[in-house]
Amino acid sequence: MLMFNNEGSTCLVCGELSQQAVIAHWPEVEQLLTSEVSQLNLSGITYADTAGVALLLQLMAQQRQGGGSLTLSQAPLQLQKLIDLYDLQDFFVEEAN
């Protein structure tokens, strides 16, 4: 199960960023983050695949469209490897721990 917990400017993401979870959450993707969120804390991610990376890119694009920005923090190693594998470092700005 994938959960988004918005608290002020940070959203804690927990669970699996998997194709199955993305399909389940895509219809509500525009409501996953409040406009105040500028940071995704990914420390609660237990698994990620390429569909999960696509969801993160969509969330970043949404925040930019609304005039905001979105940074990642505490991304698990598996997710960092996917970002590196697909050469997406320019799209994802990770906040220093």
Q: How far apart (Å, rounded) are the C-alpha atoms in residues 20 and 74? A: 23
Residue 16, token pair as written in the block: 């699996």
Q: Per-residue pLDDT averaged across 45-70, rounded?
A: 94
- Say which CATH superfamily domain 3-85 falls into: STAS domain (3.30.750.24)
Q: What is the DSSP letter of 4?
A: E
Q: What is the pLDDT of residues 16-34, one digit of tens each?
A: 999 999 999 999 999 999 9
- For the beta carbon of residue 36, count every other beta carbon within 10 angstroms: 12
Q: What is the pLDDT of residues 60-85, one digit of tens each?
A: 999 999 999 999 999 999 999 998 99
